[in-house]
Structures are given as C-alpha cells and as structure tokens.
Amino acid sequence: MGFYARHIGPRLVSCLCSMEAIAAERERVVPQASGVVLEIGIGPGLNLSFYDPARVTRVIGVDPIAEFLELGRERRLNSPVPVEIVRAPAEALPLADASIDTAVITYTLCSVEDPEQALREVRRVLKPRGQVLFLEHGLSRDAGVAVWQRRLNPIWRRLAVGCNLTRPVEKLLDEAGFTICRIEHYYLDGAPRAVGYLCQGVAEAPDHMVTMPARAMSA
C-alpha cells in the first residue's frame, strides 16, 4: 500500500462516511440489530454509537485494514456494547457456522474484494433465519445514472481506497441465497446521484444449514 492508501484515503473515506446525512441513515438501520452481531468492514466504528445495549450482546467487528481500524480506536473505547475486533477479510471469516444472530453490512459491499464470497461467508456464520441489516450504495436502477457510475468508477475506486460505485447490491444478496424481506432504493439527499444511490433493508438467512464450498469452510 502506498502513502495515500495508508494515510490519506482511509481518513477521506471515514470523513465522507460520517457525514450527517449518512449518519442519519445508519441510525435507521443499526438499532434493529440484536443478539451476537457480526459487522463486516467495521473500520472506524461509525455504527457503534447506534447499537442498542438492551438488544445486543456483543459486536464482532471484522476488518482486514489496520489503518481503518486505528481510526476507530476511540469509538470502540466509548462503545455502548461490548466489541471484539477480528482482523480478517470478509471473504474468510474465522467464525463458527451458525454462530451469529445479526449481520450488519453498511457501506462495505462496495469495497470488499469479492462480494459474492463475502456474502456466502456471512450466510455461513448466520444462524438459520438470522438477519442481515444492510445499507449500501451501489449500481443505480436508473440507466442514465448507471452509465455515469461506470464511467466514474475507475477514478472513484482509486480515490476511495477500493470503493466501487457499480456493485448490484440486491442481486448480490439474492444470489448468495438470502431472502430479501424488505428493501428500499433511493438517493441520498444532497449527494450526486452517481455516488448517492442507496439500497437499504433486511434480508434473512435460510432456515437450514447450507453446505458451503470448501474455500468458505476453511476459515
């Protein structure tokens, strides 16, 4: 990783993701979590203040990037719920099968290297009928906006340390075997449409264990 990716990019992304409008969206989603919670891409810990200590036993926060985790040190110290940090990629979660009640995925599928495998891993560690609470930006259903997202993505990806504008969130969840219980598509107020297209909702894991590929089960 170069100097920008180590020091400047993470701070830029953390600043953008902590904007007031985005914090308000997080506040709609995160308090729904309950039990043992997995949060992939926890990074600077921007969701921590929104967890309900009356509902959440603990949060297992997974992130492979030390520079993002360092930005969240103070938030973790002040967290209203117990937090355990696991430094690992979402594509290979070092967690037992069916050990998680709720998975929280916010502004993360855009930047994981392999979102399909990451979601298969989330499905593996969730208990039967466990929930995924998701809040993501991704590929717009508006063809005109999608054209601009594809044009801008190479530049945006470099500036935002691997973040992509073109991930089809609903399709990814569906293909990973989740049942989408509720979903909203909308644009974030005040943001350019190419970067402000949001997909928010609740998905559910299958009600029985699913045999996973060997690559996923090796974690």
Residues 102, 56, 51, 101: what is their CA dihedral angle, to the nearest 10 degrees?
A: 0
Burial of 99 by CB count in 10 Å (0-12 exposed, 13-18 middle, 19+ buried)? middle
> Across all residues in the chain, what is the average pLDDT?
88
| Segment 37-41 mean pLDDT | 97
More confident residue, 58 or 217: 58
- Position 218 pLDDT exceeds 50: no
- Stated pTM of the model: 0.87
What are the C-alpha distances in Å from 118 to residues 46, 51, 115, 162? 20, 23, 5, 15
pLDDT at residue 196, rounded to an integer: 92
210: confidence class by pLDDT, cuts 50, 70, 90: low
What is the average pLDDT across 5-27? 66
Integer Cα distance of 129 and 65 in angstroms: 30
Q: How far apart, in whole angstroms, are the C-alpha atoms of residue 154 and residue 158?
A: 7
Yes or no: say if 132 and 173 are a contact pair by the CB < 8 Å rule.
yes
Mean pLDDT of the region 71-79: 92
Higher-confidence position of 217 and 166: 166
**Amino acid, single-letter form, for residue 128:** P
Beta strand 126-137 pairing with 197-204: antiparallel
Handedness of CA 77, 81, 86, 91 (dihedral sign): negative
Please give the torsion angle defined by the CA atoms of residues 34, 40, 42 and 46, in that order, rounded to the nearest 10 degrees. Answer: -60
